[in-house]
């Protein structure tokens, strides 16, 4: 490292070029976010330079906008329910991949992870086909009165995000010291007791991390929801509907609030992860699927 630095000090154009490039990339990444926030205060609407008549009117409009808040409540409902589904099935799925051998295990692992890497449209449409089967549609109508509703969106999110729960918790299991569980079992605790008193407390950070990730991803999800929507909108779909009708800074205002909200969640999640495994690993679980055979 030191040698590399001296090596490049002899050739300072390398790092200088890299610095300029990095400044450009960060500019590119943050320009839209800055514009978005700035114009949420612009009295003249979206666009027009320089921004004029800075005002909080759009936030006032937003707070009086019943449809937006209904959709926020819907999104929260979906996100919490999806989190429950993903964790209920993701935790055992990770345990199964870690400790159980069964036919089709490799296929199962790939299948679980598929929604993370597949374009949302494929997952969304294939679920739409499932919910359109006569038998399934009858059950759905019996439960909610409609074929497509927040329930179908929840099932979609819950299923697609099992992938996140499984990868996060599988990574946690890889680092878990099995001797603790073994000791618990040897000392006469049942599997159930061992699970709740030894396994889960040891997996606290991965579980909280997975829950936060699932929550944020579900709140923002649109490609799958797009096909499974019934009468009630989630927040991204409500925004989408409005974008199609024309744009006002009210959308900037709600986006700014979402941004601040996600920022807080991310920083919280990041702190948590750094505490458990160091900065370099954070975020990579989204890219690198867990390798149980490796």
Residues within window 69-88 making contact with other proteins, judged by CB under 8 A: 88
The least distance separating other proteins from the CB of residue 284, rounded to whole angstroms, comes to: 5
Q: Tell which one of 54, 200, 243, 268 touches other proteins (CB under 8 A).
A: 243
Binding status of residue 185 toward other proteins by CB under 8 A: yes
- Beta carbons within 10 angstroms of residue 13's beta carbon: 8
**Buried residues in 162-199 as b, exposed as e (16+ CB within 10 A):** bbbbbbbbbbbbeebeeeebeebeeeebeeeebbeebb
The answer to whether the beta carbons of residues 92 and 167 sit under 8 Å apart is no
Q: How far is the CB of 230 from other proteins (least distance, A)?
A: 15
Chain positions 187 to 226 lying near other proteins, rule: CB under 8 A, are 191, 216, 220, 222-223, 226
Which of these segments, 43-51, 68-76, 138-146, 200-208, binds other proteins (CB under 8 A)?
43-51
Calpha distance 254→234 (Å, rounded): 13
Of 145, 201, 241, 283, the one binding other proteins by CB under 8 A: 283
Nearest to other proteins of 146, 180 (CB atom): 180
We find the least distance from the C-beta atom of residue 210 to other proteins, in angstroms, to be 14
3-state helix, strand, coil in the chain (%, to 5): 75, 0, 20
| Whether 228 contacts 149, CB under 8 Å | no
Q: Does residue 246 touch other proteins according to CB under 8 A?
A: no
| Bridge partners, residue 42, by sequence | 54
Contact criterion met (CB below 8 Å) for 65 and 135: no
In whole angstroms, the minimum distance from the beta carbon of 72 to other proteins comes to 13
Binding residue count for other proteins, defined by CB under 8 A: 98
CB 197 within 8 A of CB 189: yes
Q: Nearest approach, Cβ of 26 to other proteins (angstroms)?
A: 7
Which residue among 36, 76, 189, 208 contacts other proteins (CB under 8 A)? 36
In three-state secondary structure terms, 42 is: strand
Sites for other proteins among residues 113-152 (CB under 8 A): 114-115, 117-123, 125-130, 133
Q: Identify the three-state secondary structure at position 54.
A: strand
Nearest approach, Cβ of 195 to other proteins (angstroms)? 9
Examine residue 39 and tell whether it contacts other proteins (CB under 8 A): yes
Return the residue of 54, 56, 63, 99 that touches other proteins, per CB under 8 A: 99
**Phi, psi for residue 68 in degrees, rounded to 5:** -65, -45
Query: 215 vs 232, which CB is nearer to other proteins?
Result: 215
Please name the residues in contact with 194: beta carbons below 8 A apart, sequence gap of 6 or more.
181, 184, 185
Question: What is the pattern of x (binds other proteins, CB under 8 A) and - over residues 158-177?
Answer: -x--x---------------
Choices 56-64, 141-149, 202-210, 263-271; region in contact with other proteins by CB under 8 A: 263-271
């Amino acid at each position: 490292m030191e040698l590399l630095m001296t090596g490049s000090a002899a050739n300072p154009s390398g790092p200088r070029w890299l610095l300029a490039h990095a400044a450009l990339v960060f500019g590119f990444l943050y320009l839209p976010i800055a514009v978005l926030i700035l114009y949420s205060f612009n009295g003249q609407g979206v666009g027009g330079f320089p921004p004029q008549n800075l005002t909080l009117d759009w936030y006032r409009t937003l707070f009086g906008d019943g449809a937006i808040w209904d959709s926020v409540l819907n999104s929260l409902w979906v996100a919490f329910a999806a989190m429950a589904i993903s964790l209920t099935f993701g935790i055992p799925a990770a345990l199964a991949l870690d400790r159980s051998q069964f036919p089709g295990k490799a296929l199962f692992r790939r299948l679980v992870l598929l929604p993370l890497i597949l374009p949302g449209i494929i997952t969304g449409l294939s679920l739409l086909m499932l919910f359109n089967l006569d038998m399934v549609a009858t059950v759905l109508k019996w439960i909610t009165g409609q074929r497509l509703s927040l329930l179908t969106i929840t099932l979609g999110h819950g299923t697609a995000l099992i992938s996140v729960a499984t990868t996060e918790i599988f990574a946690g299991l890889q680092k878990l010291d099995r001797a603790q569980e073994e000791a618990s079992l040897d000392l006469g605790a049942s599997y159930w007791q061992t699970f709740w008193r030894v396994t889960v407390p040891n997996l606290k950070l991965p579980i909280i991390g997975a829950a936060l990730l699932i929550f944020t991803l579900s709140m923002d999800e649109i490609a799958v929801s797009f096909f499974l929507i019934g009468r009630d909108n989630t927040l991204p779909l409500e925004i989408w509907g409005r974008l199609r009708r024309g744009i006002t800074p009210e959308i900037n205002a709600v986006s700014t609030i979402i941004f601040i909200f996600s920022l807080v969640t991310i920083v919280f999640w990041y702190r948590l992860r750094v505490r458990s495994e160091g900065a370099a690993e954070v975020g990579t679980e989204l890219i690198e699927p867990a390798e149980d055979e490796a």
